[in-house]
């Protein structure tokens, strides 16, 4: 079992804490001139996504986590699992609803997304920052009605509901920021 | 790093030498590679191994040999030298760094604090001219509402929980005080003035004298600019037996903690038997001083070739 000592801590290092895989965001070495040294770290729990502050007594060691990030192609969902493929090796993995989470609203067949794997099991699916999706349903826009900030709800081909400007019509392809779920622009076809 | 940082380093080294020349404090040099090392369990020495040679240790400060000179009767002395501490690497740490250390005969630690303030204020142009002098106990009472000299381990533990400090690893009493100091107290120090903290817990005395109070405190001080610790000073323990007790107790602590065994500096202890004159001493980190002067964010930005590229 591989371990890391606190003197190997750096951002991006992945290890197991209380049974969960996590990743170091920042690491700061603190030490009074005479006395105990500490590593103050900000850690992301890769299972829950939660960020916590921890202080390690320097010299402590932690168990390394076999966590890798891979760019995989999204294939399809069978309702229970979302299936991805490595475009080079053709190996496939299945991610459950927890791993996919809100990313499912941005997954379009054939798109490449980043999948975080822990012991080869998908832990987290991260969509690209921007995706291009077709609007499958939206109300007709009423010109001149800006009472609601000039937007109306629309549904994408992936099932996400987003706010779009009044002039958008069904069948149009839009660029969307997946981090905020906001409309960016029309995509010229 | 720009050349102006090198020029600034050269200038403050010159100014420090001028400061001590004027006060008739003698500049000395002592060995960097010794047969004995520092037995302090919180400090790791680098070992130098060469085939056919006895192991030598790079000094972690010039304290022992400088005290041998004091015992030999040289009078007031200072030294500017490179020192090494293994494993100390971070924003405010580089394992190889430059230290200014000086000793003043017949100075109490309070008198020495005054001199440290004079020197630092002459070098640090961007600092308030009025410094804060506060006891370790006063700080704990103000910030955490606990008395560091009487609080037991359970109280300190509660305080750590109350402050939402999530700690991995078992801390002893002294380490609990350390974490409260670094995480809760240092961050409240004024950014633009020197803070002198004095009278440390007796357990953290190292080679400083203990006061004769009902609850004795270590006659030690640390000086900070903002939350950056710049130096550490003592009213020096002159009793040979008490010095020996500390070194051997440290050696046993190292053994219990499974740390590298370090030979006790017998030359130093022998000199203490000849008699260390009443004096106070302090060590200041020159690289940290430069960090404060330049306003840079990391120590590595004021060192020509920091650890990772040395």
* A148 confidence band (pLDDT: 50, 70, 90): low
Contact A92, A84 (CB under 8 A): yes
Rounded to whole angstroms, the Cα distance separating B66 from B40 reads 17
Residue B121 in contact with partner chain A when CB distance is under 8 A: no
For residue A142, the model assigns a pLDDT of 64
Which DSSP string do the residues of B219-283 spell out, in sequence order?
A: EEEEEEETTEEEEEEEEBP--HHHHHHHHHHHHHHHHHTTPPP----HHHHHHHHHHPPSEEEEE
Q: Report angle CA A121, A126, A131 to the nearest 5 degrees.
A: 140
How many residue pairs from chains A and B have C-beta atoms closer than 8 A?
Answer: 79
ipTM of the complex: 0.88
Q: What residues of A are in contact with residue B167 (Cβ under 8 Å)? A: 54-57
Measure in Å the smallest separation between the Cα of B286 and chain A Cα atoms: 14
Measure in Å the smallest separation between the Cα of B229 and chain A Cα atoms: 8
DSSP SS3 for B147: coil
* A151 confidence band (pLDDT: 50, 70, 90): confident
Measure in Å the smallest separation between the Cα of A167 and chain B Cα atoms: 50
For residue B288, the model assigns a pLDDT of 97
Using CB atoms within 10 A of its CB, is residue A94 exposed (0-12), middle (13-18) or buried (19+)? middle
Closest to A33 (Cβ–Cβ): which among B167, B174, B229?
B229
For residue B248, the model assigns a pLDDT of 97
Q: Residue B271: which of B98, B115, B73 has the closest Cα?
A: B73
The DSSP symbol for B181 reads I
Using CB atoms within 10 A of its CB, is residue B213 exposed (0-12), middle (13-18) or buried (19+)? exposed
Instruction: Tell me how far CA of residue A46 lies from CA of A53, A61, B78, in angstroms.
Output: 14, 19, 52
> Average pLDDT of A33-55?
91
Rounded to whole angstroms, the Cα distance separating A130 from A47 reads 23
DSSP SS3 for B187: helix
Residue A19 in contact with partner chain B when CB distance is under 8 A: no
Taking each helix axis from N to C terminus, what angle separates B266-275 and B63-71, rounded to the nearest 10 degrees?
Answer: 30
Residue B202 in contact with partner chain A when CB distance is under 8 A: no
Residue A40 in contact with partner chain B when CB distance is under 8 A: yes
Q: Residue B34: which of B272, B283, B259, B265 has the closest Cα?
A: B265
> What percent of chain B shows pLDDT beyond 90?
97
For residue A49, the model assigns a pLDDT of 83
- Chain-chain contact of A38 with B179 (C-beta, under 8 angstroms): yes
Domain B3-131+239-302: CATH architecture, name and number where available: 2-Layer Sandwich (3.30)
């Amino acid at each position: 079992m591989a371990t890391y000592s606190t003197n190997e801590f750096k951002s991006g290092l992945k290890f197991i804490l209380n049974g969960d895989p996590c990743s170091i965001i920042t690491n700061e070495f603190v030490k009074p001139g005479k006395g105990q040294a500490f590593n103050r770290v900000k850690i992301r729990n890769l299972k829950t996504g939660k960020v916590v502050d921890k202080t390690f007594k320097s010299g402590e060691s932690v168990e390394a986590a076999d966590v890798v990030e891979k760019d995989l192609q999204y294939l399809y969902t069978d309702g229970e699992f979302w299936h991805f493929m490595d475009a080079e090796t053709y190996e496939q993995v299945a991610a459950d609803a927890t791993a996919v989470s809100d990313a499912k609203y941005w997954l379009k067949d054939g798109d490449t997304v980043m999948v975080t794997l822990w012991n080869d099991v998908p832990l987290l699916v991260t969509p690209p920052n921007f995706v291009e999706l077709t609007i499958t349903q939206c109300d007709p826009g009423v010109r001149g009605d800006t009472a609601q900030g000039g937007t109306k709800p629309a549904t994408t081909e992936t099932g996400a509901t987003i706010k779009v400007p009044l002039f958008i019509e069904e069948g149009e392809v839009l660029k969307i920021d997946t981090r905020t779920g906001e409309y960016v622009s029309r995509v010229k076809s | 790093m720009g050349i102006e940082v090198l020029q600034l380093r050269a200038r403050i080294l010159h100014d420090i030498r001028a400061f001590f020349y004027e006060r008739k404090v003698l500049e000395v040099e002592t060995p960097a590679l010794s047969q004995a090392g520092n037995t302090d369990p919180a400090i790791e020495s680098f070992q130098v191994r060469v085939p056919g040679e006895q192991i030598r240790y790079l000094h972690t400060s010039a304290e022992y040999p400088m005290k041998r000179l004091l015992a030999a009767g040289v009078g007031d002395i200072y030294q500017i030298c490179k020192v090494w501490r293994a494993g100390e690497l971070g924003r405010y740490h580089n394992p190889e760094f430059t230290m200014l250390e000086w000793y003043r005969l017949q100075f109490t630690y309070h008198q020495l604090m005054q001199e440290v303030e004079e020197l630092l204020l002459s070098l640090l142009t961007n600092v308030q001219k009025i410094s804060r002098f506060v006891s370790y106990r006063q700080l704990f009472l103000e910030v955490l509402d606990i008395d560091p000299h009487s609080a037991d381990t359970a109280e300190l533990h509660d305080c750590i929980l109350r402050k939402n400090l999530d700690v991995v690893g078992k801390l002893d009493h002294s380490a609990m005080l350390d974490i409260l100091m670094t995480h809760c107290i240092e961050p409240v120090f004024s950014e633009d003035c020197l803070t002198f903290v004095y009278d440390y817990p007796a357990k953290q005395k190292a080679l400083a004298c203990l006061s004769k109070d009902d609850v004795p405190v270590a006659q030690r001080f640390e000086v900070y600019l903002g939350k950056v610790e710049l130096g550490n000073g003592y009213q020096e323990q002159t009793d040979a037996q008490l010095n020996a007790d500390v070194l051997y107790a440290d050696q046993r602590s190292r053994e219990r903690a499974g740390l590298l065994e370090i030979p006790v500096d017998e030359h130093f202890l022998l000199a203490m038997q000849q008699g260390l004159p009443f004096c106070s001493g302090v060590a200041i980190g020159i690289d940290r001083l430069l960090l404060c002067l330049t306003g840079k964010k990391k120590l590595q930005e004021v060192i020509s070739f920091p650890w990772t590229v040395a």
